[in-house]
Structure 1
Amino acid sequence: MPDLIHNLDAVRQRIALAAHVAGRDPRSVELLAVSKTFPAEDVRVAHAAGQRAFGENYVQEALTKIEALADLRADLEWHFIGPLQSNKSKPVAENFDWVHSVDRLKIAERLSAQRPDNLLPLNVCVQVNASGEASKSGIEPGEALELARAVAALPRLRLRGLMSIPEPAGDIEAQRAPHRLLHALFEQLCTEGLALDTLSMGMSGDLEAAVIEGATLVRVGTAIFGARDYSN
């Protein structure tokens, strides 16, 4: 699949250029390839091209994919990035390495209780509604410190940082604003004593703005795998 490999390389170049503009080391920004709705074969191709971290939104689809790629399990890192319902937390706790979408203590408590003892702690990010959209998941910025402290205290979880999915914006200055807010919140939580290292922000359309504002992980799907077909 030469298009996928070309796209992957193009996204890596975009990240590197944005990091250069920001005076950052490109290696300080991790690429998470969002493979939701795309087949396991595409993940296998991307893995062969050097990609290791993959993001999924839908639990059952992800589990099918993880099983199909069981031969690569030791060399893949699976991130759950979608809204998580309480009744779906157990398979996520058992099969994923990261969860980016924790916005309720109840979900964090379930993930903690359901994470198997034989696995490393589950890496988690608190999702923040950085652009104030009523329709978006995520905790309000003013409530993030309380939730982050509670999550950090739970066993079998490792609080890594913050995640957001801002409202789409047309120009880079408008795109930068919610990422700047999230970065400021990240810094605030760090000064409060939380050991955070991850800012999960930026997607296909705004990764440059996110990198300039300090993203350590960008979640890119369409620019790598192509347009999604949700008909199934």
Structure 2
Amino acid sequence: MFSIADNIKTVSQRIQNATKSAARPADSVTLLAVSKTKPAEAIRAAYDAGLRDFGENYLQEAQDKIAQLSNLAITWHFIGPLQSNKTRPVAELFQWVHTLDREKIARRLSEQRPEGTPPLNVCIQVNINDESSKSGVTPGEIAPLAEIVSALPGLRLRGLMCIPDPSQGDEALASTFKELNRHFAALQSRFDSVDTLSMGMSDDMEAAIAAGSTIVRIGSAIFGARN
């Protein structure tokens, strides 16, 4: 039976192979461990194996784990849908939000970011395949929201995030990732703070890295199937 540390080595090798194939630096992709539904002990094991970035989808669950692991130097990423009545604890406890898709949420996060802490790093979520079941802005809405975010003192615009339609074939998936990269490049040309393209999960990280991803969000390949 493989351990979490063994799984991290395997995933790290996959990332290294993918960056090499794409002629990119080995350190150009951050491994974000998606720890939703997993206990604090599993996160601690991944931390002991060298990981520092962890992603959570569910606020109540995340709050408990953040409290339990407060002695560790973890960078916490919120990667789930965010309702306006849940923004305060996210603004207070997390360093990143990957799922920003509304002006109202942006303004609340900025206003509720504690004084004296660095701005909250945010990625705008793009509904790149126009799926009714998923959150995110349309490609045409990226620029207007980015303008708003860049002007808010409590936020730092870092880039874009997507969750592509998993039913696509390999060619369509690669095309989807390349499309988001084009929007990312356009955003980079306008905002100096933009450096992050959050795309790719356990089953498609290689295609995402080939298309320029800088953060891959990996859950099952590290921690096993969801509980």
Give, in angstroms, the shift of residue 118 of structure 1: 1.9
Letter paired with 1:50: G
Equivalence for 2:67:
67
Deviations 1:31-71 (A, max 9, x none): 00000000000000000000000000000000000000011
Q: Does 1:35 align with 2:35?
A: yes
* Contiguous gaps of at least 5 residues in structure 1: none
Structure 2 CA distance for partners of 1:27 and 1:164, relative to 1, 3 Å: same
Equivalence for 1:88:
86
1-structure distance, mates of 2:27, 2:66: 27
2-structure distance, mates of 1:152, 1:107: 14
1-structure distance, mates of 2:150, 2:192: 8
Q: Report how many residues are paired.
A: 227
2-structure distance, mates of 1:172, 1:26: 24
Equivalence for 1:49:
49
* Contiguous gaps of at least 5 residues in structure 2: none
Retained in 1: the 8 A contact 2:33–2:217? yes
Retained in 2: the 8 A contact 1:149–1:194? no
Q: Does 1:168 align with 2:166?
A: yes
2-structure distance, mates of 1:46, 1:173: 33
Deviations 1:98-120 (A, max 9, x none): 00000001000000000001211
1-structure distance, mates of 2:173, 2:94: 30
Give, in angstroms, the shift of residue 3 of structure 1: 1.7
TM-score (norm 2): 0.97
Structure 2 CA distance for partners of 1:104 and 1:170, relative to 1, 3 Å: closer
Give, in angstroms, the shift of residue 217 of structure 1: 0.4
2-structure distance, mates of 1:171, 1:9: 28
Equivalence for 1:188:
186
Choose the corresponding residue for 2:105, options 101, 104, 107.
107
Deviations 1:131-173 (A, max 9, x none): 1211111000011011011111101110100000001146432
1-structure distance, mates of 2:168, 2:150: 36
Structure 2 CA distance for partners of 1:114 and 1:186, relative to 1, 3 Å: same
Letter paired with 1:174: A
Query: What RMSD over aligned residues (CA atoms) do the two structures have, in Å?
Result: 1.2
TM-score (norm 1): 0.95
Retained in 1: the 8 A contact 2:35–2:219? yes
1-structure distance, mates of 2:161, 2:95: 16
Identity %: 56
**SS at the partner of 1:119?**
coil
**SS at the partner of 2:97?**
strand
Structure 2 CA distance for partners of 1:71 and 1:83, relative to 1, 3 Å: same
Retained in 2: the 8 A contact 1:32–1:55? yes
Deviations 1:166-185 (A, max 9, x none): 01146432221111111000
Retained in 2: the 8 A contact 1:128–1:162? yes
Equivalence for 1:203:
201
Give, in angstroms, the shift of residue 191 of structure 1: 2.2
